[in-house]
Amino acid sequence: MSLTIYAKRKERKKKQLEELGNLLSKYSNFVVLSIAGVETPTLQKLRNSIRGKAELKVVKNTLFSKALDRTNLSEDIKTRIKKNLERETAVLFTNSSTFEIVALLDRFKKPVYLKPNRISPVDVVIPAGVTTLQPGPFTDSLTALGVPFDVKKNLVYIRQDTVVLKKGEFVNTRLADLLREMGLAPVISSIKAKCAVDEGLFIEGEKLTLNLEQYKKEIESAYENAFSLAFNSALPEPEVMPLLVTKAYYDSLSIAVECGIVNEQTAPLVFAKALSIANALDQEIKKASK
């Protein structure tokens, strides 16, 4: 390598390191993302969707590690972040909540075809049912893979679900072409949050994804429990006061009726109770006189 090329590379790395340092200073929060297998157009769509809220930067792990060393983050946090720096990495820099930013990532999941001469990250299944295949080279591929099928009205019917490749096995060109022809994209391409720093706190990736429905149910349950506790304890909170006043009114009315206190509100109830008792007594007297 000539000295000129080496010097240019060194200068380029220096500028990249300075840029990362500026981003770490400019933004209070950041999310480390795994972008393995994610295509460039998908990353561009993500950039467009977060414009004004965050900046996305594809980084080299060694350079980002060096940039972290220049921050005032604790050594423990730096070490935990560095453990997540592997394979293809991007970083989302933001002053917004990292939870809010990570919630956007689900929009960029999509099925993708297996590429030839790669290792499959999943088991590959050709499902039972009718296909768009016609007898020819692709049915030869089905035969070679041991997939049971029938040909009816010049269309191929797969008899049963068949595993044609195991996770970790090599994808050959013939299989990749067959799956694409059948429209089978068995891999879900997604941008995964590996970890984040939010207001100086380190957060593991799996804790950044919120189950909003579950949180909604938990909040509703907490509200109902708090309301019930406040009501039963007669706490004078604005939400329960109307019910407490209503309960107090009917409790006092019930006590007044039981004690035979006659006023404008209790008179009809007291007289009705007296009449009921008199009728019951009359029935008992009649029974006794027989």
For the chain, give every domain's residue range. Answer: 3-109+190-209, 118-186, 214-289
Residue 34 makes CB contacts below 8 A (sequence gap 6+) with: 87, 88, 89, 191, 192, 194
Q: What is the DSSP string of 237-275?
A: -TTTHHHHHHHHHHHHHHHHHHTT--STTTHHHHHHHHH
Partners of 92 in the beta sheet? 31, 56
Check: pTM over 0.85? Answer yes or no: no
181: left (phi over 0), alpha (psi -120 to 50) or beta: alpha
Instruction: List, for the chain, all residue ranges whose pLDDT scores fall below the cut of 70.
Output: 1-3, 210-212, 214-215, 270, 282, 290
pLDDT of amino acid 210: 66
CB 66 within 8 A of CB 19: no
pLDDT of amino acid 255: 81
Q: How far apart are CA 188 and CA 109, in angstroms?
A: 6
CATH of domain 3-109+190-209: 3.30.70.1730
CB 99 within 8 A of CB 31: no
No. of H helices and E strands in the chain?
A: 10, 14
Q: List the Cα angle 66/67/71 in 5-degree steps.
A: 115
Partners of 69 in the beta sheet? none
pLDDT of amino acid 86: 86
Please say whether the structural domain 118-186 has been given the CATH code 3.90.105.20: yes
- Determine the 3-state secondary structure of 141 from DSSP: helix
Question: Residue holding tokens 């453990």?
Answer: 83
Task: Count CB-CB contacts under 10 A for residue 37.
Answer: 17
